[in-house]
Amino acid sequence: MASTTHYPVWDSFIRGYHWLQVMSVAGLWYTGTEGLMDWHFAIAYFLLALLLTRLIWGVIGSETAQFRHFVRSPSTALQYLTAIRRGGESSNVGHNPAGAYMVVAFMLLLATQLTTGLFANDDIISEGPLAQYVSGELSSLMTSIHAINFNLILGAIALHVIAITVYLLRKDNLITPMITGKKALKANPPQMHNGLVAWGITAAIGSLIYFTWAEEVVAYLW
């Protein structure tokens, strides 16, 4: 049996993005439910900066972060699920072929949520920064999509938690590597890039968003 060694598989940005995304979505749910719209917008702008950076890092980042390395064909994903159902081992360095589609789907859902939020309004006092540039009908449509899409996000989260639980029951811990960044590998380790580069990109995008839309919101909060 081949020996295993723990190697870095997730850089600091991917790990930070994952957990900050979790906290941001929870924060958006709470602030939206409680009507804390200034906090809602602030968290949304922060998550937008993270998501845009993640898309860029999916092109230029570490090997396990790059879409071209982990997004496989649908047939490959189906073959993987079939093998797992029959008791096969999951020995992927980064995202497995099925999990990759969940990653992409979640990014699309978040992109939809954040984009529609820019045009949404609550018909009382709060509206997205771009709502004034579209008709009332289109803004109302965006608001409806914003509400419906969040339910899809909750469904995706539930599916993700179920999948993580199933892997844990199969003695395949996917949580610890997303905390430590390291994983036991039998194959060659992936090529890693310094996550500080991605955090620098996040800061740049965040600054642009801040001075474009968020300065007034943040000033009100503090």
- For the segment 30-51, what is each residue's pLDDT rounded down to a tens digit? 999 999 999 999 999 999 999 9
Residues of the chain with pLDDT under 50: 1
Mean pLDDT of the chain: 92
pLDDT score of 89:
62
Distance CA(20)–CA(92), nearest Å, equals 24
pLDDT score of 91:
66
Token reading at 128:
């997205």
pLDDT score of 67:
96
Distance CA(188)–CA(119), nearest Å, equals 46
User: Considering the entire predicted model, what is its pTM?
Assistant: 0.92
